[in-house]
Structure 1
């Protein structure tokens, strides 16, 4: 049994951040019922290209959509209608939590807050992922990862000092906020089971991105240090920790402990560097960073990246600098179960990344992302609706 087996989560979700959070829960065994507004074509991610499952033309063929929504069920439902609300209320009687990632003012309008649903299921946890929160001046603001990265300082911490402000290569605000949502849901359910009372829990892209500033924010708030970009993707205070040139490419070396600096000097056959006053400790190396970079560039450029990695293996934290294709064909990845295959309707497979949380060798059985409303009839039947009633709901545009 996976840890979250038996949990039922109703997810009024779309696009990336919310679905990424509930994907974590699904891969730990929870049942995720994805509620999608049929009048709007469901989750907008269903149309996101440019890449689609080969040989499929259905509404779940977007590889973007498949990335965030495999192992889930889809319930098409118009929550703006009284009948849609009636179905939701029946559904949450058997649910542990409801999640959403909508604009801050929408959950209350859709009737999906604890104030509204707690009367029906007092143990229900209502977890809301918004751009800027459900209160305040920005509650009605739409918001996305990249603008939030820009506003909270990420752009001016990323890239080379003489280049333009640069975003992170991935949607790290969306992804990390999704993980925060998953933690919020599990925490809320744990408390609800102990107390018999659920609650609203909120997480926003902005707050999560700001919180991720972590020690850099501490430096500014308490020491007045406004961190700027540094060359070669270096660590802001620990050296050597950056990109270095090799004979054929680049290598990333991270000596974040003094013992690794000593190990590096031994591996490159220059133990005398540990005795040099300008490289004696982190402070000295930071003050003489340009000289340290020139010295290590000169030494490391005498061998290839692969040769250095073989020499450093198990002694010095170091890595090659790969693109995405190289990363996914890395023997450390391809020789393991880190990439999984999901059987597809047309007879082929969809390759997906395995979840990073491992539970004593147990893994969820992978299923493709559902078509829009694929599980609607089954879920409504579970709730006690007859075939005739389900047909009438469909004819009325409720499902």
Structure 2
């Protein structure tokens, strides 16, 4: 049995942050049931270009494997009744909507506790349910600017920059998943559910970590560093070799001593300018020039062989293709493959969350409303007469165009 096989999550989620959080739960066996608004055409992630065809997109596949989908208008009185039946049979209601929307949709704990006193209502929004920005939409780019991240990313003489991946979105999803699991644990222990009010803003601010602590207590002013250098550990940055770039880092003094031996410059360890982290930080520019001169004499591959043999933390600066082709990627079975009726074989990166024995079988992301009847009859016990009455009331919206029945089994590379 999968670790979360006894947890059911009703997800009113869309796009990236919310689905990224719940896909880890689904990969661990949780029954994640996506409620997709038929009036909006379902999760907007279904239509994200450039790799999209109708209601299928590779973006959507990335964040929604192993989930089920039901098309349902929860604003419709009969749709609301179905929603509340789902809540009765669930552990959590999970959403990533604007901070004021859970109140409008009546999906907070106070709205649902009479339906299920143990329900955990987990809301991930841009700015949370409180504060002057609670009713504003929040996106990764916006939060990276607001929380100071863009002043820390890129070269000092360049424009403000975001991180490559949408780290606020993805970190927010992970924070929400952790909060949901903690809430379910407490609800099972105490018999009482709760609200979990998460936000991308809180996540972005929390991830300032020691930089915020240094500023709050010592007046430190963080800024961008050349070549992505660490603000205090020297050397710890990217360097240019004969044919490209590599990262090397001395997070401990022992690595500095290993590095100078591997570079055949052992005298640098005894140089008073470079004796300690503090000394090397003062003389960082001088040290960088010296290391640049040494590293320019050999290729990246040659240096990596020497540095790895010396147990110095190092890596090439890979592009995405090279990263996916790394032998460590294959050894950790980080890529899964699924048959898809539109895209043929879809390969994607699996969840890094591992608990016990790895999951061996995954399933492609669901079509919009694909599991509506299965959920209504199998989970909620509705008979066909009730299902047809709800369909006639347009509670489920129009069904998406039919496509060939796909294979759902997924293998791991």
TM-score by length of 2: 0.93
Equivalent positions of 1:186-205 (< 5 A) are 186-205=181-200
Q: Which residue matches 2:377?
A: 381
Q: 1:151 to 1:346 in 2, by over 3 A?
A: closer
Distance 2:150 2:71 in 1: 38
Q: 1:328 to 1:108 in 2, by over 3 A?
A: same
Q: Which residue matches 1:394?
A: 391
User: Which deviates the most, 334-343 or 213-222?
Assistant: 334-343
Q: Which residue matches 1:371?
A: 367
Distance 2:243 2:19 in 1: 40
User: SS state of the match for residue 42, structure 1?
Assistant: coil
- Alignment partner for residue 330 of structure 1, among 326, 329, 338? 326
Q: Which residue matches 2:407?
A: none
Mind listing any 5+ residue stretches in structure 1 that lack a counterpart?
none
Q: How far 1:355 sits from its partner (Å)? A: 1.5
2:126 paired with 1:131? yes
- Alignment partner for residue 240 of structure 1, among 235, 241, 254? 235
User: SS state of the match for residue 341, structure 1?
Assistant: strand
> Aligned pair count?
394
Q: How far 1:255 sits from its partner (Å)? A: 0.4
Equivalent positions of 1:116-195 (< 5 A) are 116-195=111-190
Distance 1:185 1:347 in 2: 33
User: SS state of the match for residue 273, structure 1?
Assistant: helix
User: SS state of the match for residue 18, structure 1?
Assistant: helix
State the Cα deviation string for residues 120-139 of structure 1 (Å, max 9, x = none).
11111000001111123222
User: SS state of the match for residue 98, structure 1?
Assistant: strand
User: SS state of the match for residue 139, structure 1?
Assistant: coil
Whether contact under 8 Å (2:47, 2:54) holds in the other structure is: no
Distance 1:80 1:137 in 2: 27
CA RMSD of aligned residues (A): 1.2
Distance 1:193 1:276 in 2: 61
Distance 1:362 1:173 in 2: 27
Q: How far 1:148 sits from its partner (Å)? A: 0.6
User: SS state of the match for residue 313, structure 1?
Assistant: helix
- Alignment partner for residue 279 of structure 2, among 278, 281, 284? 284
User: Which deviates the most, 179-188 or 139-148?
Assistant: 139-148
Q: How far 1:346 sits from its partner (Å)? A: 5.5
Q: Which residue matches 1:266?
A: 261
User: Which deviates the most, 327-336 or 64-73?
Assistant: 327-336
Distance 1:205 1:359 in 2: 26
Equivalent positions of 1:199-348 (< 5 A) are 199-313=194-308, 315-345=311-341, 348=344
Distance 1:226 1:364 in 2: 48
Q: 1:231 to 1:347 in 2, by over 3 A?
A: closer
User: SS state of the match for residue 251, structure 2?
Assistant: coil
TM-score by length of 1: 0.96
Q: Which residue matches 1:17?
A: 17
Whether contact under 8 Å (1:28, 1:364) holds in the other structure is: no
Distance 1:346 1:108 in 2: 38
- Alignment partner for residue 357 of structure 1, among 353, 357, 363? 353
Distance 1:321 1:362 in 2: 29
Whether contact under 8 Å (1:340, 1:353) holds in the other structure is: yes
